[in-house]
């Protein structure tokens, strides 16, 4: 990729750590998901190369992932126990510390854009449920009917999870059956960091359940000079460990590298709960960390030297 003159730019994203076994999908499906990640990365990178802000780049990259059925966000989001999509998203601008988020939204086509509008509006930080839906409509964001978000794969996952719940075997469900998320982090040419995350949560979640993704500090965090983080995995534990901020705090106050702090969060704090966990993080120089403890995590990045990388499994 073309590297603009001046300060380094970088972008990284994830498409969730709930990835199926390689053999459970045809090779063509994996290739398609990777192509979507490359499109999302390029969308963000092109903006950064033109001098746009990191917060614009992460929003644009996440929109591409929300629009794809391959990931659990926007079109293709997970269904809750009542067969309804309730969507969560957040975005944070590391240069100002400003953030916006929506949770339990039902009719916003691109929840990350609504989160961005909440940030811009600057009054509330987090809008919930039908009020979030109404806010998004009031600022001119396109609405979508519930059916827009539904895919055959998510309907099948809901049937399987509900059968498992009746049989008391939810614990044996694969990570992929349970959850997924999308997120992006970026460093712009002015040295600013940003993070965004968007999700349908997990399949068969209780109605009204809100995960870590829209909670600043839990699933999403960015602070200039420190790091930008977007998480994926069993959200309840990311909230309990204030995971995204926990990484930033270790970097800022203990002087750890982002790689060490991110690895510590996944391995030492989250993995003992026997949950799926992963994240992408970017430091102030554009170095990417993407630890995860599952079989795979959709992930990709373009580093300051312009190298593009995507992967699905270990
Ligand atoms: N963290 C998301 C949530 O708990 C799910 C995921 O990333 O897999 O809502």
User: Residue 193: its pLDDT value, please?
Assistant: 98
CA of 189 to the centre of ligand 1 (A): 30
CA of 178, closest atom in ligand 1: 8
pLDDT band at 30 (very low <50, low <70, confident <90, very high): confident
pLDDT in tens, 264-276: 999 999 999 999 9
Mutate to test the pocket of ligand 1, among 173, 213, 242, 292 (most ligand atoms within 8 A of CB): 213
Average pLDDT over residues 14-23: 82
For the record, the structure tokens of 42 come out as 């390029």
Atom of ligand 1 nearest to the CA of 236: 4
Instruction: Say what angle helices 54-67 and 27-49 make with each other, to 10 degrees.
Output: 160
Q: Which residues contact 208 (CB under 8 A, 6 or more apart)?
A: 86, 104
Site to probe by mutation for ligand 1, drawn from 199, 275, 294 as the one with most ligand atoms within 8 Å of Cβ, is 199
Residue 116, H or E segment: helix 111-121
Q: Could you tell me the distance, in angstroms and rounded to a whole number, from the CA of residue 282 to the centre of ligand 1?
A: 20
Domain boundaries in the chain? 10-313
For 31-56, b/e burial (b = at least 16 CB within 10 A) is eebbebbbebbbbbbebbbeebbbbb
Check whether 58 has a pLDDT greater than 70.
yes
Distance CA 210, CA 132 (A): 14
CATH architecture of 10-313: 4-Layer Sandwich (3.60)
Please give the structure tokens belonging to residue 258.
Answer: 């982002």
Ligand 1 atom 4: residue of nearest CA: 235
Contacts of 5 (CB under 8 A, 6+ apart): none
Q: Of 16, 20, 76, 279, which is best to mutate to test ligand 1, by the most ligand atoms within 8 angstroms of its C-beta?
A: 16
Rounded distance from Cα 236 to ligand 1 centre (Å) = 8
173, pLDDT greater than 80: no
- Could you tell me which residues come within 8 angstroms of residue 152 by beta carbon, excluding any fewer than 6 positions away? none
| Other beta carbons within 10 Å of 141 | 19
Q: Based on the residue annotation, tell me whether 172 is a catalytic residue of this protein.
A: no
Interval 240-264 mean pLDDT? 98
Residue 32 Cα to ligand 1 midpoint, Å, equals: 22
Cβ atoms of 308 and 46 within 8 Å: the answer is: no
Q: What is the secondary structure of 219-264 as a DSSP string?
A: TEEEETTTEEEEEEE-HHHHHHTTHHHHHHHIIIII---HHHHHHH
User: In which band, very low, low, confident or very high, does the pLDDT at 19 lie, cut at 50, 70 and 90?
Assistant: confident
Q: How many CA atoms lie within 13 A of 260 on its CB side?
A: 8
User: Which atom of ligand 1 is found nearest the CA of 205?
Assistant: 9
pLDDT value for 170: 74
Q: Is the pLDDT of residue 3 over 60?
A: no
37 Cβ contact partners less than 8 Å away, ≥ 6 residues apart: 13, 15, 65, 298, 299, 300, 310
266/247 Cα distance (integer angstroms) = 10
Residues with CB under 6 A from ligand 1: 16, 18, 179-181, 199, 201-202, 211-213, 219, 232-235
pLDDT tier for residue 284 given thresholds of 50, 70 and 90? very high
- Dihedral sign of CA atoms 119, 121, 126, 132 in order: negative
Q: How far is the CA of 150 from the centre of ligand 1 (A)?
A: 17
- Identified catalytic residue from 181, 197, 294, 310: 181
Nearest CA to ligand 1 atom 7: 232
Specify the pLDDT at position 2: 54
3-state helix, strand, coil in the chain (%, to 5): 40, 25, 40
Q: How far does residue 263's CA lie from ligand 1's centre (Å)?
A: 18
């Amino acid at each position: 990729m073309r590297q603009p003159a001046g300060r380094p730019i970088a972008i990284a994203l994830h498409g969730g750590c709930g990835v199926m076994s390689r053999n459970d999908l045809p090779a063509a499906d994996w290739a398609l998901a990777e192509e979507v990640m490359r499109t999302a990365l390029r969308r963000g990178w092109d903006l950064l190369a033109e001098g746009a802000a990191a917060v614009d780049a992460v929003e644009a990259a996440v929109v591409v992932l929300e629009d794809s059925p391959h990931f659990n966000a926007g079109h293709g989001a997970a269904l809750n126990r009542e067969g309804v999509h309730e969507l969560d998203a957040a975005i944070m601008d590391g240069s100002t510390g400003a953030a916006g988020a929506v949770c339990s939204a039902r009719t916003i086509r691109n929840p990350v854009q609504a989160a961005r509008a909440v940030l811009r509006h600057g009054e509330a930080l987090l809008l919930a449920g039908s009020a979030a839906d109404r806010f998004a409509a009031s600022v001119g964001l396109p609405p979508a009917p519930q059916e827009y978000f539904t895919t055959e794969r998510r309907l099948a996952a809901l049937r399987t999870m509900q059968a498992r719940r009746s049989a008391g075997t939810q614990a044996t469900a694969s990570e992929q059956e349970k959850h997924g998320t999308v997120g992006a982090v970026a460093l712009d040419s002015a040295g600013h960091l940003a993070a965004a995350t968007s999700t349908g949560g997990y399949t068969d979640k209780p109605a009204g359940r809100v995960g870590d993704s829209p909670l600043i500090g839990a699933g999403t965090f960015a602070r200039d000079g420190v790091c930008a983080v977007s998480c994926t995995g069993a959200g309840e534990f990311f909230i309990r460990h204030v995971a995204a901020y926990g990484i930033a705090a270790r970097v800022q106050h203990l002087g750890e590298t982002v790689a060490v702090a991110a690895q510590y969060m996944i391995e030492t704090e989250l993995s003992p709960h026997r949950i799926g966990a992963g994240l992408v993080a970017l430091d102030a120089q554009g170095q990417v960390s993407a630890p995860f403890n599952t079989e795979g995590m959709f992930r990709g990045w373009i580093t300051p030297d312009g190298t593009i990388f995507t992967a699905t499994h270990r």
